[in-house]
Amino acid sequence: MMKWSLLLLSLWASGPSAWAGKAEFFSTGEGAIRGYDPVAYFTERRPVKGKEAFHLRYRGADWYFASAEHQNRFQQEPEKYAPQYGGYCAWAVSKGYTASTDPQAWTLHDGKLYLNYSLGVQQDWREDIPGNVTKADARWPKVLN
């Protein structure tokens, strides 16, 4: 119950835009993934904060990288490194809505990056990743409307 309450509170706090057409990628003032480097999840197996010097704009969001090498990798294959479901909480998308994410709550599965709202929600996500991916795939990108 607590997790649902937190997710609903997150949506409510986002204001009216949370209920109407949302951006393709979840982003804050810090950028996509709250300014964390999407490539680092794959290369370093941990979240790494990006740097202003290594920045690019992709599909309406600002992306930050820890190095020029990571920035170049992303530019060459953005679909490989960008988080699934636009960086919105994968578990929420599997349930039919969107929620913000915590860069510390992440999973690599079948070569793809999935983010979750919190470490607690991540535990629920990990209970059935293949099943949750199937549900989320069926609902993405319709949940943006």
pLDDT digits (tens, 9 = 90+) for 23-65: 999 999 999 999 999 999 999 999 999 999 999 999 999 999 9
Q: Residue ranges of the domains in the chain?
A: 2-14+22-144
Please tell me the predicted confidence (pLDDT) of residue 116.
98
- Residue reference for tokens 């983010």: 115
Residue ranges of the chain whose pLDDT lies below 70? 1-20
43 close to 70: Cβ distance less than 8 angstroms: yes
pTM of the model: 0.86
Alpha-carbon gap, residue 77 to 69, rounded angstroms:
12
Please tell me the predicted confidence (pLDDT) of residue 21.
82
Q: What angle do CA 10, 12, 17 make, to 5 degrees?
A: 105
C-alpha atoms less than 13 angstroms from C-alpha of 41 in its C-beta half-sphere: 24
116 close to 89: Cβ distance less than 8 angstroms: yes
